[in-house]
């Protein structure tokens, strides 16, 4: 199977590190012109430079914009009028018990995890429809199905992502535009590494061991019994972004290590 994205422009939101950066790297290796995004100018520019040195075949552009607000999303769209592939990856996760979680935390998860994707899809889907080709991929989570008790607000935002993706796939019916969501399980990104940093220090174990302990303890239905790597997530996203995935739309694709226990 050969994936060739030459001539396609791909925007990956929140791609200075973690899953987003891995997706950007794979799309770039497959020939896409890739747009990297993060909040700080410096970090975003650095990630763009790094990507150029890691086998990018097409162009690499870095656009800093904070997607937590409507203004930030509009600023990004003002700098980038159209894309062929939109990967709504930017997301935050903050463990916090329901009774200790104020409105602001709910609202921030909603704005970053859901509304950034809504706003960018609204901006970019019309030109994809006109071109009769496009790919929109929402990086949701297994937590959208298995609501995590330690961050209900996060799980709810990811359920919303899955629902928006399904709705948009219906809205784009009959066009060459597909819309899907991808549901990673626990994945060793920089964000998860910093979430596990205390445990790592306490136990002296490697980050992979600490992540596997977390999976066994808090996501005990996992069949792979370890965290995924960021590349394992990027693989499926790259396939979905490609012309090869033309009959897959409206799907919620699991890369969850088998932890969602339904058929
Ligand atoms: P991460 O914290 O390692 O990286 C997050 C990226 O998003 C960074 O590049 C950061 O700069 C960017 N970002 C955060 N807020 C932003 C904002 N307001 N505007 C622009 N960029 C912003 O995260 P990750 O673990 O790689 O997660 C990426 C996505 O995958 C998220 O949507 C997350 O919910 C989802 N996910 C992660 C896991 C996991 O275990 N890592 C599991 C399931 C789903």
Query: What pLDDT sits at residue 160?
Result: 99
Query: What pLDDT sits at residue 42?
Result: 98
Query: What pLDDT sits at residue 208?
Result: 94
Q: State which residues of the chain have pLDDT below 50.
A: none
Nearest ligand 1 atom, CA 43: 11
Where do the CATH 3.40.50.720 domains begin and end in the chain? Answer: 9-185+230-252
Q: Give distance in angstroms: CA of 89 to centre of ligand 1.
A: 6
Q: Give distance in angstroms: CA of 148 to centre of ligand 1.
A: 17
User: 74-101: per-residue pLDDT in tens?
Assistant: 999 999 999 999 999 999 999 999 999 9
Q: Nearest-CA neighbor of 167 among 183, 156, 154, 180?
A: 180
User: 25-34: per-residue pLDDT in tens?
Assistant: 999 999 999 9
Q: Give distance in angstroms: CA of 182 to centre of ligand 1.
A: 13
Ligand 1 contacts (CB < 6 A) are 14-20, 37-39, 66-68, 89-93, 112, 139, 141, 184, 186-187, 189-192
Query: What pLDDT sits at residue 169?
Result: 99
Query: What pLDDT sits at residue 121?
Result: 99
Query: What pLDDT sits at residue 37?
Result: 98
This prediction's pTM: 0.98
Query: What pLDDT sits at residue 10?
Result: 98
Which numeric CATH code is attached to 9-185+230-252?
Answer: 3.40.50.720
Alpha carbons 104 and 220: distance in angstroms, whole number? 30
- Exactly one of 21, 124, 154, 239 is catalytic; name it: 154
Query: What pLDDT sits at residue 226?
Result: 97
124 part of the active site:
no
Query: What pLDDT sits at residue 91?
Result: 98
């Amino acid at each position: 199977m050969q994936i060739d994205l030459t001539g396609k422009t791909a925007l990956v939101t929140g791609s200075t590190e973690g899953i987003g950066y891995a997706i950007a790297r794979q799309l770039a290796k497959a020939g896409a012109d890739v747009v990297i995004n993060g909040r700080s100018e410096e970090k975003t520019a650095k990630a763009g430079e790094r990507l150029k040195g890691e086998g990018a075949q097409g162009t690499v552009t870095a656009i800093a914009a904070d997607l937590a607000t409507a203004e930030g999303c509009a600023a990004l769209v003002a700098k980038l009028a159209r894309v062929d592939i939109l990967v709504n990856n930017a997301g935050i996760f903050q463990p916090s018990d329901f009774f200790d979680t104020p409105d602001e935390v709910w609202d921030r998860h909603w704005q970053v995890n859901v509304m950034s994707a809504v706003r960018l899809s609204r901006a970019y889907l019309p030109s994809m429809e006109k071109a009769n080709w496009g790919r929109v991929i929402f990086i949701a989570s297994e937590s959208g199905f298995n609501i995590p008790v330690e961050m209900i607000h996060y799980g709810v935002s990811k359920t919303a992502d899955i629902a928006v993706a399904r709705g948009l796939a219906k809205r784009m019916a009959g066009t060459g535009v597909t819309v899907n969501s991808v549901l990673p399980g626990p994945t060793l990104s920089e964000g998860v590494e910093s979430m596990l940093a205390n445990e790592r220090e306490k136990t002296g174990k490697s980050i992979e061991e600490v992540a596997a302990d977390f999976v066994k303890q808090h996501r005990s239905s996992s069949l792979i019994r370890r965290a995924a790597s960021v590349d394992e997530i990027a693989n499926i996203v790259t396939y979905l972004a490609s012309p090869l995935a033309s009959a897959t739309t409206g799907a919620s694709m699991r890369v969850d290590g088998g932890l969602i226990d339904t058929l």
